[in-house]
Amino acid sequence: MPKTLYTGMNLCDGNEIVNKADSWMLVGDDGRIESIGTGADAMPAADATVDLTGKYVMPGLINCHVHTMGDALDPRLTMFSETEVAYRSIKNLHRAISCGITTLRECASAFSVDCKLASLQRKGELADVPTIVPSGRPMSIIGGHGDMLEGLEGESNLGHLVSSPDEMRKAVREEFKLGAKNIKLMSTGGVMSPNDRVDDTELTVEEMKVAVEEAHHKHMTVCAHAQGTEGVHNALVAGVDSIEHGSLISEDDMRLMVANGQYLVPTLLPCWAITEYGEGKIPQYMIDKNKGFGHRFFDNIAKAASLGVRIAMGTDAGTPFNDLTDTPHELVLMREIGCTVEQIMHACGPTAAQLLKIDADYGTLEPGKYADFLVLDADPIANVAAVSQKDKAVYKHGVRVH
């Protein structure tokens, strides 16, 4: 690709949440940013120039919690063949890039398809979709959240069904072998599983501690699906890097997260979407569970943000009425519950990159990092809903992909 100079933009680099008017950015032929300046600085030579005068440029979105095998309009979760999982995932990865997601973490993929797609991506395939941070199959208990039959004959399971620390260690090593960069633990029940409640505790502290130990020894992170109060606490004590959802988290555990530097990925969208669109369209148990904690959930996330818990953006895309293209609305919901604009912009940028341990390459627009960025007509700092622009330009490694 040619060395390209982008000029005239209002640039928010993701570190400072301000727009620097009349900025320019030079992107090298390797897709990385070489230099950044303003109109007052001497602009470097380039093979091509793109005039972005009057436009607003920000880092591409990092979504830390998605399920690309899912379909927002089809509540079916089981009996997928590996071929169907791969097909849906590739289709949804293209949908993701169209709304501005340039990096995503897959948080449970049947047959570890995400690991296999990420391997192809590292070889140069799938260059026009978000960078994939794979988790492989999640760790669950028999009958718990994540125990879902897959395959045309039910010959596989979405999750590794572990019943001891030794079984957990083996399962983590299996995902490591396939290339997982994160391990997903099911610490509690969930909305989408028929046999449990959201406040059920599932994996034990001992099992999760082994997962954390094994994963951290191999430079992987660990996230925990955790909605009920006790299960959230168990996961934090076990040492996970992030809590996913955190619906009924206690204030004491919010403070524990601040002290330990652990992250919270709230995923407000699925709760909002089921409330907004779900009645009569999905199984009643999902409706009932969602109603049971919804109001407390939003209040708890607002409290966590006010106490300084590190918030990373995720949407749980693939759950009912929650498409990957809806991701920008997560930013709007975060603003509505009281998160600051700085918290929101960091949550989908540098904070998310730090959680995923990819901040050397992604999360902000600065020299040495990949040129993953969005070009918007309106100012996202003034109104985060500007990110929802349908026809925005999306650049991945310096190449326009949408």
263-275: average pLDDT: 97
Q: Are 117 and 47 in contact (CB under 8 A)?
A: no
Does the pLDDT value for residue 304 go beyond 80?
yes
Domains of the chain, residue spans: 4-59+364-400, 61-356
Work out the percent of the chain whose per-residue pLDDT is above 90.
96
Q: How many CB atoms lie within 10 A of CB 104?
A: 31
Q: For residue 366, what are the contacts with CB-CB under 8 A and spacing of at least 6? A: 13, 15, 33, 36
Which pLDDT belongs to residue 293?
87
Interval 324-346: pLDDT, tens: 999 999 999 999 999 999 999 99
Which pLDDT score, from 0 to 100, does residue 313 have? 98
Distance CA 400, CA 379 (A): 20
Same fold, 4-59+364-400 and 61-356: no
Residue 182 has a pLDDT of 98
Best CA proximity match to 140, nearest among 118, 114, 107: 107
The answer on pLDDT for 169 being more than 90 is yes
Q: What is the pLDDT of residues 94-148, one digit of tens each?
A: 999 999 999 999 999 999 999 999 999 999 999 999 999 999 999 999 999 999 9
Alpha-carbon distance 401 to 363, whole Å? 18
* Mean pLDDT, rounded, of the chain: 97
Provide the sign of the torsion angle of the four alpha carbons 152, 158, 162, 163, taken in this order: negative
What is the predicted pLDDT for the residue at 42? 84
CATH of domain 4-59+364-400: 2.30.40.10
Whether residue 294 has pLDDT greater than 80:
no
How many CB atoms are closer than 10 A to CB 51?
11
Cα distance between residue 344 and residue 313, in whole Å: 8
Q: Residue 202 pLDDT > 90, yes or no?
A: yes
Alpha-carbon separation of residue 357 from 24, 39, 209, 363 (angstroms): 28, 33, 20, 10
What's the token pair of residue 382?
A: 């003034």
Architecture category of domain 61-356 in CATH: Alpha-Beta Barrel (3.20)
Which two tokens mark 254?
């919010």
What does the pLDDT look like over 39-81, one tens digit per residue?
Answer: 877 889 999 999 999 999 999 999 999 999 999 998 788 999 9
Average pLDDT over residues 255-282: 96
- Tell me, what's the pLDDT at 1? 79
pLDDT given at position 204: 98
